[in-house]
Structure 1
């Protein structure tokens, strides 16, 4: 018996996957983010650097609208790093966070920041390379954040030093 293939013009193959429900999509995105963060830790880019990167990120990644509010992705990462994953409900923020983390991971896998001999934190090097954020901009933001705190000048100087490390 010979096998005969019959094709019909305009017929599309049946979809192998039905659209995912939001809970399943959320679980997949969370798993993806956590996997990339673990990979980054293995590449000497710890969670503290991930937090720092998301603090100053200014450009949305490819696949996200140019006017996307990046504070949503930052909030998602903050919840993940703080162990509050069950509180994450923003699927768009989660998707943006995963895309940003993937960009950082690809940069790091290609050796990004590995040969930097300065004492700048990894996130600052990544921001400069991937987002064109200049070190002065990070210093200026850090300074303005410290200015708003109700503490003495000496405490601000001490905190500024620890933020930079």
Structure 2
């Protein structure tokens, strides 16, 4: 029996990022330069158009730190040095029917970027440096603000 166009049943193949059969491992990078953190405006779902931390899906054979370095380079052209894992975040987006449309387990990695100009590329629409308070105003997802503040407090204590 084939589904009608009005059906809310997710697609049968659930191996992709949308309506997945398992969580995807993502790596977010909390990139610091002095007292400023790097933000990107997302160019793809989920949270398209929102300010966020750079990052993306981990590839097979790649460490978490390698993923952070690659994703920041792809999205902003910046070279970074990862310093620590800050935390792990569960990111789930439900569709209008309540089905899980996106599910990521995001490992948040702190990193330093000593030099270079952030230029948006790949799936980033914009890139900018912000203070912790500016980042809190710009970001819409509460977890992003929490992760940035946690990383900032760990840097201050270190």
TM-score past 0.5 threshold: no
Say which structure, 1 or 2, has more relative contact order (CA 8 Å, 6+ apart). 2
* Larger-Rg structure: 1
Higher helix share: 1
TM (norm. structure 2) is: 0.26
Higher strand share: 2
